[in-house]
Amino acid sequence: MDVALLAEGTYPFHPGGVSVWCDQLVRGLAPHRFTIYSIIGGDDREPIWDLPENVTDVHSICLWDNAPSPKRPGSASASAEIQSAFAQLVTSLVEPEGGPAFFDALHQLFVLSQARPLNGALSTDASLEVLLDVMGVAGPADRSLGDDHRPVMISEARLALDLIEHQLRPLFVPPPEVDLCHATANGLSILPALGAFWARKTPLVLSEHGIYLRERYLSYDAATYTRAVRSIMLRFFKRLTWVGYQIADAIAPGSEYNRQWQEANGGASERIRPIYNGVDAANFITCPSEPDVPTLVWLGRIDPLKDVETLLLAFAKVRRSLPTARLRIFGSAADYNRDYLKLCEGLRDSLDLSQSATFEGRATSVVDAYHAGHIVLLTSISEGFPYTLIEAMAAGKPTVATDVGGVREAAGDAGLIVPPQRPDQIADACLVLLGDAELRRSIGRAARARILSMFTLEQSLAVFGDLYREVTGRISSAPVFERNRDGTREQLDIGTHLAPDGPLYAESELSPLVGS
Amino acid sequence: MATHKGKRAVDPKPTPDAVGLLHWVVSDPRLAEVCAAAVDPLEVAARLETFGLSSRVAEDMFGYRDVFSAAHAVYTSVPFEDTEPPPPQPEPMGRPLDLLRGALYAIPAVFFTVVVNGFGVPTRWWVLLVGLTVAWGISQAVAVVGWALRGRGDERSDSLLACTSILVTAAVCLGVALAVRSTLGGTEACVFLAVALGAYIAASGVLLFHGAEWLLGFSLVPAIVGSILGQGVISHRAAAWCVVASAGLVLVAALRPLASRRWHLPSLRSVDWQRAAKFFVYGIGCGLLTSVVVGFGTRGTGTGDAMVIAVMPLLLTLGLMEWHLRSFRSRATAALSTTSDLRAFARRVHGAMFRSVGTYAAALAIVSVVALIVGHERHAAMAPLLLGTVDALGICFFLALLLASSGQINRVLVSWGATFAVLGATLAITWAERGHVTATAGIAALLLAATVAIVTLAGLSRRVLSSPLSY
């Protein structure tokens, strides 16, 4: 089977949990051939992962490359079509039931992009004017702005146009010619899958580790973006992720907890099937010895979602009780998080922890990194089913983790769970574990046993293998479907929709999905 | 408890504790602030989760079905309160330092004649053309590449870029000068002078790119002192050696990143090469136009000194050009964040453009009048036409700079094409009619071409720069 694995900001150009998962997936499902579509910021890069032989190709889709110049749409009528589709797209963002119109506008843009390059073609004064009008009425959903709000400025519309135009670029790539699309996240990753869906009815499996929309809500914060920009962009992401849930044949959140987010944004519950990440336990041996000084270990991407600030504040409190304690932070920051790393280093220094808390970069051996401490910490404010946690558990380490996403499902009663953003409680949990060697050992044993019984790589891969067969089998027995309002699918007339010699993208190819 | 039908009653779901929930939210000012600024109930749900209110906690603590129903209660109860991030800062206004930058770049034109006179070099008109044109083109290309690399956080390529810029400029100047000499004649000294001029301009461009104005100024001190003293206190030859010393210092200063030994091969994309090529052509155009005026002007005035005086208004106002470019962009970007109507924005930009171009043109005219007075004795017949042409070129360059800095380099190149077409056609017609082109006819042809360029560029600028997408 040929599979297009669609990723954003992860495999094979960046480290991190999702990249680990992708690597495990393509290696573990080796009979299948994978083509990677990787959406990246703007840098031309070389893959940092060794790609297995069953990865047949890697397409990097740069969101922010310096496109030479806006491409001319070709003719006045083509330009009018592009403007019309874009106007429909942004107008649908403020319509109460705008989901179908949004979906239809994406379809129009996709069809237009297959005839001519659209990168940059949406950046016009006309687009800006439409966006200004729309943003003028796009306040908070169902919430009064009050009377004294200021009008939307051109700079805000300009920023929103820039963001939307660049975020749409993955829609304009030639659609993958594969048997199955597997998106590793909702949001931008589903855009190439949409193309494949319209062009060939290619089925889609949608995995979500963290919840894409939830993380957009957290990253588009009021300290960085104005109300007008946040309102329009978050509406855009809400619509886009809704579309992802509508077209996916199977939705696989990384945890049961995250299922509720998908349902809250239009995911049909019968198509949602949580699939936990798994660990190759053979790679995570236990180690009976511990460091000489009380040591905490944290491993992950340096990213605001991982809340390294709370980690440092908690460690500062631990140091007040245990002055010899150390904190070893393993992980690197992506280019766009360099400022966050500096902020964290500044906080560490201001807490007088520069000698005891060290940023050690990406770990050369994650197992050794886990064993470098007495306890492994996870302080995230948003998670799917974190590798840091299950790997540390597999290595027999006691853990203290924040109660977000699938953490509770992963840890069960084999780890300490604390609320997020509560440094005092995190510190207290650490002090309890650091002060009781027997408790550490018993939790470590229970943690490893839990992983071996519930979260192995083999189990995870087997479920995905079955899901691939199930989804493609379902499709192959009835090649072309349209989904009805109630979520059922009905067969369409192949002749009118995928005529080999006819137009590839008939306007009536897909009725808009109903209900947002 | 039993119902009247005898079945056990199910305990009713506890009433959600909205007061308790809101109290919990406002007890943490950070949470209260983000909930008040939320634009969607789901955003509140995301925020509540990050503060520990999962669905389980929402049910256990406050009796809500899940985090979403709790979030909805918070969203509808808490009044919206906008939290504005700091407004975007407009680009900085022009500074007096910009004047200095322009002067530092332009002053060496004076030194050119000091060297020629001091060493008695039998110079030819094409020396300035080759050195200036080649260096201008390559400097533009290198600057574009340099800024692109810096935009990606790559400052490690500076050493290689500086070295390459100077060496390539010198090499290209050498090749072109040798080719020109074989066609038009000249001495080896002319070739050497063209190469030295090109290398110097490239080196000073490198220093300005690195923001090392003070270093460039310091390096030029010997030349400035020598040129002044050369008016009677020391010999012309000694003054020329002072200029050579300055040129050497500038070269050494420009190559100082080499001492860091931080060699790094930049990773350039095809788009970088394309942009560099376009800016190279743009720079070549600027250099050629300036060289044409210098070439005909020298023939008309007969002396290098007089020509330098004629070109001085343009050179001395290069800094003013940069100042007003920055000020224009600052006003335009300020209008972006304070205007909510596209037509009002266009009006403000037109006003800013008129102000900047008008101020620059007025300053150029004043300096030209001064130059006219200073050069009156030597080239009275030629000066008004020559200065008018130089002024037209100045305005033309300023408009081109406005467009190029707004990402409209393609339009500038089209204008350059039209300009050279007009210039070439006019010169060809003159040649066909008279069998030769006099200096006055050449300058007049250039004035006509520059006027066409001004009209074209002004029209384009007015249209393109009124679009917010140009910033």
H/E/C letters for each residue in A149-206?
Answer: CCCCCHHHHHHHHHHHHHHCHHHHCCCCCCCEEEECCCHHHHHHHHHHHHHHCCCEEE
Whether the per-residue pLDDT at B206 is higher than 80: the answer is yes
Q: By C-alpha distance, which of B464, B147, B463, B471 is closest to B329?
A: B471
Question: Residue A155: which of B271, B337, B342 has the nearest Cβ?
Answer: B337
Chain segment A182-193, per-residue pLDDT in tens: 999 999 999 999
Shortest Cα distance, chain A CAs vs residue B85, angstroms: 5
The vertex-B212 CA angle with B206 and B216, nearest 5°, equals 80
ipTM passes above 0.90: no
Residue B269 touches partner A, C-beta closer than 8 Å: yes
> pLDDT value at position B376?
67
**Angle, alpha carbons A355-A358-A364 (nearest 5°):** 145
- B31, B47, B50: which to substitute to probe chain A, counting the most A Cβ within 10 Å? B50
Distance from CA of B16 to the nearest CA of A (A): 19
**Which residues have C-beta within 8 Å of that of residue B14, sequence separation ≥ 6?**
B63
Residues from chain B that touch A381, judged by Cβ atoms under 8 A, are 49-50
Q: Contacts of residue A146 in chain B, CB cutoff 8 Å?
A: 79-80
Inter-chain residue contact B42 with A421, CB threshold 8 Å? no
Residues of B in contact with A218 (CB under 8 A): 46-47, 50
CB A481 within 8 A of CB A489: yes
CB A115 within 8 A of CB A505: no
Q: What pLDDT digit, counting tens, does each position of B318-352 carry?
A: 888 889 999 999 999 999 999 999 999 999 999 99
Chain A contact for B266 (CB, 8 A cutoff): no
What the block records as the tokens of B16 is 């959600």
Instruction: Please report residues of A whose CB lies closer than 8 A to that of B47.
Output: 217-218
Rounded to an integer, the average pLDDT of B35-47 is 94
Residues B84, A158: C-beta atoms closer than 8 Å: no
Chain B closest-CA separation from residue A217 CA (Å): 5
Question: Tens digits of per-residue pLDDT, B115-150?
Answer: 888 888 777 778 888 888 999 999 999 999 988 888
- Considering only the beta carbons, identify the residue of A227, A238, A404 that sits closest to B82: A227
Burial group, residue A377, by CB count within 10 angstroms (0-12, 13-18, 19+): buried
- Which percentage of chain A shows pLDDT scores above 90? 72
Give the model's pLDDT for residue A146.
66
pLDDT, tens digit (0-9, with 9 covering 90-100), for A39-78: 998 766 789 999 999 999 999 998 887 555 445 556 777 8
Do B42 and A213 make contact, defined as CB atoms within 8 angstroms? yes
Q: What is the rounded radius of gyration, in angstroms, for the C-alpha atoms of chain A?
A: 24
B77-121 pLDDT, tens digit per residue, is 988 888 888 887 888 888 887 887 777 777 777 788 788 888 887
Contacts of B54 in chain A (CB under 8 A): 257, 403-404, 408
Write down the mean pLDDT value for chain B.
Answer: 86
DSSP-derived secondary structure letter, A48: S
Asked if B90 is an interface residue toward chain A (Cβ–Cβ < 8 A), one would say no
pLDDT band at B407 (very low <50, low <70, confident <90, very high): confident
Please report the pLDDT score of residue A66 as a whole number.
Answer: 58
* Structure confidence by residue, pLDDT tens digits, B57-69: 899 889 999 999 9
**pLDDT over 50 (residue A505):** no
pLDDT given at position A74 = 63
Contacts of A158 in chain B (CB under 8 A): 336, 468-469, 471
Q: Which residue of A has its CA nearest to B464?
A: A125
- CA B311 to chain A, closest CA, distance in angstroms equals 36
* Nearby residues of A393 by Cβ (< 8 Å), 6 or more positions away: A399, A410, A411, A414, A415, A447, A448, A450, A451
pLDDT of residue B387: 80
What residues in A contact B145, CB-CB < 8 Å? none
Residue B313 carries which side chain, given as an amino acid letter? P
Which residue, B313, B466, B333, is CA-closest to B398? B313
**Does B89 contact A at CB distance below 8 Å?**
no
| pTM strictly above 0.90 | no
Within 8 A of B50 by CB-CB distance, chain A residues are: 218, 381-382, 404, 420-421
DSSP per position, A349-416: HHTT-TTTEEE--S-S-HHHHHHTSSEEEE--SS-SS-HHHHHHHHTT--EEEES-TTHHHHHTTSSE
Query: Are residues A382 and B469, on separate chains, in Cβ contact within 8 Å?
Result: no
Residues in A touching B265 (Cβ below 8 Å):
none
User: According to the model, what pLDDT value does residue A147 have?
Assistant: 65
Which residues of chain B lie closer than 8 angstroms to A260, CB-CB?
A: 55, 66-68
Q: Chain A: give the shortest CA distance to residue B41, in Å.
A: 8
Which chain B residues are Cβ-neighbours of A422 within 8 angstroms?
52
What local confidence, expressed as pLDDT, does residue B311 receive? Answer: 74
Pick the closest to residue B383 from B437, B452, B311 (CA basis). B311
The arithmetic mean of pLDDT across residues B367-371, rounded, is 83
Tokens of A388: 């840091």
Asked if B271 lies within 8 A of A65 by C-beta distance, the reply is: yes
- Residue among A68, A154, A381 minimizing CB distance to B339: A154
Give the gyration radius of chain B's Cα atoms: 32
Task: Say if the Cβ atoms of A420 and B52 lie within 8 Å.
Answer: yes
Preceding amide of B90 cis, omega within 30: no
Residue type, A340: Y
Q: Is B406 helix (H, G, I), strand (E, B) or coil?
A: coil
Q: How confident is the model at residue A482 (pLDDT cuts 50, 70, 90)?
A: very low
Query: What is the spatial distance between Cα B120 and Cα B108, in angstroms, rounded to a whole number?
Result: 18
Contact criterion met (CB < 8 Å) for A234 and B43: yes
Q: Helix count (H) and strand count (E) of chain B? A: 20, 0
Asked whether the beta carbons of residue A264 and residue B55 sit closer than 8 angstroms, the reply is no
Backbone torsions φ then ψ of A456, nearest 5 degrees: -90, 160
Report the residue from A144, A381, A403 with minimal CB separation from B80.
A144
Tokens 């533009």 sit at which residue? Answer: B140
Using CB atoms, pick whichever of A42, A152, A421 lies closest to residue B52.
Answer: A421
Contacts of B333 in chain A (CB under 8 A): 155
CA distance B223 to chain A (A): 42
Phi-psi region for residue A136, left (φ > 0), alpha (ψ -120 to 50) or beta?
Answer: alpha
Q: Does A264 contact B42 at a Cβ distance shorter than 8 Å? A: yes
* pLDDT confidence bin for A148, thresholds 50/70/90: low
Residues in chain B closer than 8 A to A227 (CB atoms): 37, 39, 82-84
In this prediction, residues A175-179 reach a mean pLDDT of 95
Enter the tokens of residue A183.
């998106």
Q: How many CB pairs under 8 A join A and B?
A: 152
C-alpha triplet B45, B49, B51: angle, nearest 5°: 120
Residue A486: what pLDDT? 46
A264 vs B contacts (CB less than 8 Å): 42, 45, 68
Instruction: Closest CB to B39: pick one of A69, A128, A140.
Output: A140
User: Taking CB atoms and an 8 Å limit, are A231 and B39 in contact across chains?
Assistant: yes
Q: How far apart are CA A138 and CA A127, in angstroms?
A: 16
Whether the per-residue pLDDT at B303 is higher than 70: the answer is no
Q: Which residue of A has its CA nearest to B467?
A: A125
Mean pLDDT score of chain A, rounded to an integer?
A: 87
Search chain A and give the residue with CA nearest B54: A404
Tell me if chain A has a CB within 8 Å of the CB of B468. Answer: yes
Please check whether residue B340 touches A, CB under 8 A: yes
Percent above pLDDT 70 for chain A: 89
Tell me which residue has tokens 């453009």: B353
B 11-40 near A (Cβ less than 8 A): 33-34, 37-40
User: Of the candidates A4, A475, A13, which has an alpha carbon nearest to the alpha carbon of residue A194?
Assistant: A4
B166 has pLDDT over 60: yes
Minimum distance, in Å, between the CA of residue B275 and any CA atom of chain A? 8
**CB-based contact (8 Å) between B77 and chain A?**
no
Residue B378's CB is within 10 A of a number of other CB atoms, namely 16
